Amino acid sequence: MTTDHTTPRPTPGSETWTERSRLQAEAFDTIGDRYDEAFPHKEGQEERTRRLLDLIPPGGQVLDLGSGTGLPTARQLAQSGAQVTGFEISPRMIELARANVPEAEFVQADIMDLDPGERQYDAIVAFFALLCLPKAQIPTALGRIRAALAPGGVLCLSMVEAEVDDAPIPFVGAEIRVTGYGREELRSVVEEAGLIVEDEKVVAYEPREGAEPETQIFLTCRRGT
């Protein structure tokens, strides 16, 4: 799949970005009740979260970007004693997350709303959250994530391996815009943002319905001291 790189890209704060965010939120509102059914058995995500919990202090502050329904990540973190905040743009997803993980805090916010000056986190997870941004905005998002991590803090992120940039795709009964990277390009973008890649894992994943089989790339990264 290719995209038209002559089309002006939306930038945060612009009318086009506001409209893009609104459409993405509406799409995920539509997806919300079906998402966990279409994407069950997230073993790769769960294993990465268990590994993360071994890398941070007990009761650590963790930000879950693109927290969705809260399953499995926010619940797994909260049940292990972490203090969890979730950022999610979809009001319906937030409703589901608050019901699924009442001990966590969920905020309706875009990834680009992250303000590093408000709070620092021991860890940030961004499982398939950055793929909802255009490539032009991902370095900025990674810079904000790095700045929001405490020194030595850990970032766990995942992307789908694909060569696409802000492309519209049908997804579980709705249309969303997605971005993907090859493995080497993803590592390069992350490292250029000042994050140290400590671990990489690649997982073949086959959803139950409404989406194509995919290759998932998981990176565990650390903010240098």
**Residues 89-133 pLDDT 10s:** 999 999 999 999 999 999 999 999 999 999 999 999 999 999 999
pLDDT score recorded for residue 2: 36
Of 136, 84, 135, 140, nearest in space to 112 by CA: 140
Task: Answer whether residue 14 shows pLDDT above 60.
Answer: yes
> Over 70: is that where the pLDDT of 21 sits?
yes
Burial 61-73 (b: 16+ CB within 10 A, else e): bbbbbbbbbbbbb
Q: Among all chains, which residue has been given the structure tokens 């992307």?
A: 159
Taking the whole predicted model, whether its pTM rises above 0.85 is answered as: yes
One-letter amino acid for residue 135 of the chain: K
pLDDT number for residue 221: 98
Sequence-ordered list of residues with C-beta below 8 angstroms from that of 179, at least 6 positions apart, any chain = 130, 131, 132, 133, 134, 135, 138, 159, 164, 165, 166, 167
Q: Looking at residue 6, what is its pLDDT?
A: 41
**Strand partners for 157:** 126, 219
The percentage of the chain sitting over the pLDDT mark of 70, rounded to a whole number, equals 94
Average pLDDT, the chain: 92
pLDDT at position 4, please? 40
Token pair of 139 as six digits:
């370095």
Give 165-169 contacts, CB < 8 A, sequence gap 24+.
165/3, 165/5, 165/134, 165/135, 166/3, 166/9, 166/133, 166/134, 166/135, 167/1, 167/3, 169/1
| pLDDT exceeds 60 at position 5 | no
Are the CB atoms for 186 and 159 separated by under 8 Å?
yes
